[in-house]
Structure 1
Amino acid sequence: MATREKSQKVVIVGAGPVGSLAALYAASRGDDVELYELRGDLRDPSVSPLNFSKSINLAISERGINSMRCSNRPGFVEAVLKQSIPMYGRMIHGKNPMGKVWEEPQAYDVHGRFINAIDRTALNGVLLDELEKTPNVKLFFNHKLTGADFRNKKAWFEREDPNDPNMGAFKATSDNEDDDKTINVSRAPEVEVPFDFLIGADGAHSAARYHLMKYTRMDYKQEYIDVVWVELQIPPSEETNDFRISPNHLHIWPGREFMFIALPSPDKSFVCTLFAPASHFVALDRSPENLLEFFNTHFPGVCPELISPEALKQQFQTNPHLPIISIKCTPHHYESSAVILGDAAHAMLPFYGQGLNAGMEDVRILFEMLDSHGVYDNDTTTPGKPATEIATARAAALTAYSRERTPDAYAIIDLSYRNYLEMRWGVKSPLYRLRKAVEETLDAYVPRLGWATQYARVSFSNAPYSEVETATQRQGQILSRALTGLVFAVAGVSGMWLWRWHRARDLGGLMVRIRDVFGW
């Protein structure tokens, strides 16, 4: 990289997987990077996630892996995948009319490709370890973004470390001198941080987005769907200390308007999630004695086979019941000074496993835009660009980024919701199975047609989500026309056969009558 008049300072808000990957990208281009995180060090097991739950387990697929690979860190992707477990498909669970419990695997891909279950903390740990090896990156934990001036490029953070010596006492006074007293309080001191470029990757309830909305005319839509979730756990087998069910599948118990899923963890347990309308949670909270019957009716084989009744009751009552939020907004940036990535820009339902992957893809596409617009200069034979020229180039890159990324963000949010409908009931539909079989057959045996399932396009390619949505809709229309044509063809052939049969029968009757009249 060429040297500049001075190094650009990049401040990143949020040290989750997306923010940490953005820090790696910026640092590799020579920027001075400061990464600020509201919580403590996320590698510390005592640090609670913001929703006070381990959170829905992550599934990393091609988009996320490709984005990590493009960080050009030797051994980095391999270190991440060592922490993961491959899942080759869904395992659908149910019970037949005779009361027998069954399970049926459904492969994700006709070519054998798979997604990877990974623990959020493990992934974050690998990323933060990588950042600590990087000399031009500084990590700041327990720092809360409280303000930002994107015109003058300054941000303010509260240092929320209770052990900070700057947090002390102050004297509170009143009109009555006898009432003067000193009150010990925890006052978080505020620090001012200048920057050249700020990246907000601080999740669905983003402080960076909140302050960004004061500077740009942002269209914003937030929606809570009528689904609440609670995390449960299937422990390892007591006899073998191994997985109780197949570790290489995402297990689904579909229930029409609710579902129960389970993803494998490296400790041989399964992180499980119950998704249901809020009314069901309210009813079970009011009548906890119905919990076991609810599971036995809708999720056969879970209790007591996989989770003991005592553990199920304890986890359901103790673990938080949390809502699911969906957020769309545009633009994702302001001039040359700030941009938001990941859930801060496009929080989505978790049913496609693309929240992490889309966020990491944001990082790759953002820095590809910055590169292509000349923010970073690979020509080491010429002097570096002045800061004003870099800012102009960055403004153009961010405008292009918002313009390109917004339709893709909207598309994957919509696709995630439709996949929820598919997972909770569509996977058992004959029409779903027929379409999947047709598309996979064409993909396997006539690849030049370019057919693929929607799932394969989303999870095993880097095609823009908006193009995936368009291609899937086109395939659906073609299949619908073909199926309609087939139905009409079958009906036409059947009608012709019946007409000929009736005609032949009538002709035969006429010949009999003629024979009787003439005595033939």
Structure 2
Amino acid sequence: MADSRPTKCLVIGAGPVGALAALYAARRGWDVEVYELRGDLRDESTTPLNFTKSINLALSERGINAMRQSGSNALLETVLLETVPMHGRMIHGKASPGLTEESQQYDVHGRYLRAVDRAILNKVLLDEVEALPNVKLHFNQKLTGADVRKRKAWFEEQSTRKPQTADGAQAHLAQDKSRSHEIEVEFDLILGCDGAHSSVRYHMMKSVRMNYEQNYIDTLWCEFTIPPVTPTSHTTPSARHGFATSPNHLHIWPQSDKMFIAIPSTDKSFTCTFFAPAADFTSLEKYPDGFLPFFQANFPGVADLVGHAELRKQFHDNPHLPLISIKCAPHHYGSAGVILGDAAHAMVPFYGQGMNAGLEDVRVLFEHLDAQPSNTQGRAKALEAYTAERVPDAHTINDLALANYWEMHAGVTSPLYLFRKKVEEFLSDKLPVTGFATQYSRVSFSNQRYSEVAKTVDRQGKILLGGMLGTVLLPVIGWAAWWVWRYRQTSHNPTYAAKGFANLTKLWESIGRVFS
């Protein structure tokens, strides 16, 4: 039996995931209130929590499908008009006599990603939400406490006034006095969409036996910008339509343990990200004279695209930020609380699935809610089913994102990796009855559960490896082993043979990595 009054839903966080969650809830007739720590995210003066534009977003099928099913007919069309298609990766390098570009398509069937500006996406979603009569948006509101057992939350308004006094102590006191008192809000359901350092998750853990794992990888990132083309701009051969390089690719300058990427924006600039071990950042900060040679040696052409002086300035001015990976379980408490997006599964950005997975969370959650009666008992069953489905999927894409760092900075130049990709694409295109598809296409261009993607790709790898062993690799390895044996028999240098066998072992390990 349904409750007679509308469900009172609090959404904490007004980013893309929170805004979409509010939209889904409001479309079901719920009484929705959205609380955001920052000011109105549509205001250009609002400072992001990490003090940067953040890594540009790649919108793929999962995020698109979540918006498609939001109940807002014009939403998806409006969002897609503000995106730039990316049909593949452009791998940048250097070879005689100059710089090189190599295009690698994402999908043999022509499917592609869409580059989208986070601020524009957020604005479109918030405008859609604000237009609904049963939604209230509250900005500059800090969640100071939440009790999912009593279904109550407490907020403190963050002052936006700047004290007009020169004395630091008096300014601090004036700021304290300008704060509003704490307010208490009751709810039926609280949705934590408030990011990796989620306050909802923190307070929910007081009532939930939640397993929690947080890791930082030994890689930092810094944002750069390639401006639109001007008459004096440096460009690459693929530059067109005012973009300094191809507007329809995700650009990668790969190295063994670092990379530089660039993603197009609708204003014809590129939002770029430099990823490298923390030691590289420390060295560049300590020895500024080596800054330009470092970039010219590792990322040929980047300094010219950004501008030599501008490259150094942006490195100095923009923050050097860590990459966090978070897993937790469960994602809910009873019928009263649930976490979505980065609050539940923050991941490194190397698969471009962070936002897409978060938007998919919203779709999956409300599919379970729709399948149950709209009362407390039904909601409890829905949240339990959501956790049961989403936890293994969240853990899987978290692991895949970590593994994809290797693909982006090393795999894109690995002959074995590229060979497997071509085989899987050939089978997908010419023999679709086999059901073969690349892992990337399954993750980015389908709505297959992440955990099922991993299982399917693992089976494919074993089949391909078995076939290659029988037709190609065993004869090659046998031939190589015979030559090592022959040399050993005719040579007085047995260490050569040992090295030969060691190299064969490394080859086998590389093959296993590509096909695992």
Q: TM-score interval w.r.t. the shorter chain?
A: 0.7 to 0.9
2:218 pairs with 212, 226, 229, which one? Answer: 226
* CA apart distance, 1:91: 0.2
Report the AA paired with residue 317 of structure 1.
Answer: H
Matched, 1:404 2:403: no
Residues 338 and 488 from structure 1, CA distance in 2 versus in 1: closer, same or farther, beyond 3 angstroms?
A: closer
Q: Secondary structure at the match of 1:344?
A: helix
Equivalent residue, structure 1, for 2:487: none
* CA apart distance, 1:163: 4.3
Equivalent residue, structure 2, for 1:56: 55
Deviations 1:418-446 (A, max 9, x none): 11111011100100110010000000011
Gaps of 5+ in 1: 169-181, 376-389, 499-520
* CA apart distance, 1:3: 7.9
Structure index of larger Rg: 1
Equivalent residue, structure 2, for 1:445: 430
* Contact 1:220–1:327, Cα closer than 8 Å, also in 2: yes
Q: Percent identity?
A: 57
Gaps of 5+ in 2: 165-171, 234-240, 484-516
Distance 1:101 1:293 in 2: 16
For residues 299-318 of structure 1, the aligned pairs below 5 Å read 299-304=299-304, 306-318=305-317
Report the AA paired with residue 297 of structure 2.
Answer: T
* CA apart distance, 1:5: 1.5
Equivalent residue, structure 1, for 2:81: 82
Equivalent residue, structure 2, for 1:463: 448
Residues 293 and 27 from structure 1, CA distance in 2 versus in 1: closer, same or farther, beyond 3 angstroms?
A: same
Scaled by the length of structure 2, what TM-score is found? 0.87
Equivalent residue, structure 2, for 1:124: 122
* Contact 1:162–1:186, Cα closer than 8 Å, also in 2: no
For residues 46-445 of structure 1, the aligned pairs below 5 Å read 46-96=45-95, 98=96, 100-163=98-161, 184-187=174-177, 188=179, 189-239=181-231, 242-304=242-304, 306-375=305-374, 390-445=375-430
Please tell me the root mean square deviation across aligned C-alpha atoms, in Å. 2.0
Q: Secondary structure at the match of 2:100?
A: strand
Equivalent residue, structure 2, for 1:380: none
Report the AA paired with residue 418 of structure 1.
Answer: A
Report the AA paired with residue 279 of structure 1.
Answer: A
Residues 193 and 455 from structure 1, CA distance in 2 versus in 1: closer, same or farther, beyond 3 angstroms?
A: same
Scaled by the length of structure 1, what TM-score is found? 0.87
Residues 203 and 488 from structure 1, CA distance in 2 versus in 1: closer, same or farther, beyond 3 angstroms?
A: closer
* Contact 1:38–1:143, Cα closer than 8 Å, also in 2: yes
Residues 5 and 422 from structure 1, CA distance in 2 versus in 1: closer, same or farther, beyond 3 angstroms?
A: same
* CA apart distance, 1:4: 4.2
Deviations 1:118-158 (A, max 9, x none): 00000000001101110000000000111011111000011
Deviations 1:199-228 (A, max 9, x none): 000000100000011010000000000000
Distance 1:493 1:124 in 2: 58
Distance 1:278 1:91 in 2: 26
- Greater Cα offset, 468-477 or 109-118: 468-477
* Contact 2:159–2:175, Cα closer than 8 Å, also in 1: no
Residues 489 and 344 from structure 1, CA distance in 2 versus in 1: closer, same or farther, beyond 3 angstroms?
A: closer
* Contact 1:86–1:115, Cα closer than 8 Å, also in 2: yes
* Contact 2:2–2:373, Cα closer than 8 Å, also in 1: no
Equivalent residue, structure 2, for 1:7: 6
Residues 112 and 491 from structure 1, CA distance in 2 versus in 1: closer, same or farther, beyond 3 angstroms?
A: closer
Matched, 1:39 2:38: yes
Residues 191 and 489 from structure 1, CA distance in 2 versus in 1: closer, same or farther, beyond 3 angstroms?
A: closer
* Contact 2:214–2:325, Cα closer than 8 Å, also in 1: yes
Q: Secondary structure at the match of 1:487?
A: helix
Report the AA paired with residue 225 of structure 2.
Answer: Q
* CA apart distance, 1:494: 8.0
Q: Secondary structure at the match of 2:109?
A: coil
Report the AA paired with residue 299 of structure 1.
Answer: F
Distance 1:13 1:290 in 2: 45
Report the AA paired with residue 422 of structure 1.
Answer: E
* CA apart distance, 1:100: 2.3
* CA apart distance, 1:485: 1.1
Deviations 1:463-514 (A, max 9, x none): 000001111111111111111111366469989xx9xxxxxxxxxxxxxxxx
Distance 2:204 2:310 in 1: 44
Report the AA paired with residue 146 of structure 2.
Answer: A
Distance 1:101 1:126 in 2: 39
Distance 1:79 1:53 in 2: 25
Equivalent residue, structure 1, for 2:464: 479
* Contact 2:335–2:380, Cα closer than 8 Å, also in 1: yes
